[in-house]
Amino acid sequence: MKPRPPRQSVNRPAVLSFGGSGGLSCRVHNVSRGGARLWVWGPSWVPYAFDLLDVFSGITRKAKVVWRQPEGMGVRFVDQGAWPPEHLPRALCQFGRRQR
């Protein structure tokens, strides 16, 4: 069994695009080189494959659904895109203290 790529916790807006105009808003919970976990309301009707647009960076990745739950779903990236960028620093968890 292959080890999973490291995941980065994020909470950022994204849009699921199905090839037409507009799209469905969602939130990216965590992301790795191989895929992401998305918060989507009612993911049962979302198609099996779609484009995932990161609103902050403007980068689009092609994704396929791996699993679904009532509040979200997991996707696997099927292209070799640049999101998440490697130079993005990991957030340090410091509870009760402000970062400087």
pLDDT digits (tens, 9 = 90+) for 46-70: 889 999 999 988 889 999 999 999 8
* pLDDT tens-digit series, residues 81-94: 777 666 555 544 44
- Can you give the CATH number for the domain in which 35 is found? 2.40.10.220
Positive or negative CA dihedral for 43, 48, 51, 56? positive
- Phi, psi angle pair for 30, to nearest 5°: -150, 160
Share of the chain above pLDDT 90, in %: 44
Is 17 inside any structural domain?
yes
Residue 58 lies in a domain: yes
Q: Rounded CA gap, 91 and 80, in Å?
A: 24
Model pTM greater than 0.85? no
| 1's tokens | 């069994």
Any domain includes 2: no
Instruction: Count up the domains in the chain and report the number.
Output: 1
- Give the DSSP H or E segment for 77: strand 72-77
pLDDT at 82: 74
pLDDT digits (tens, 9 = 90+) for 38-51: 999 877 888 899 99
SS3 (DSSP) at 38: strand
85 assigned to some structural domain: no
Q: Domain of 48?
A: 8-77
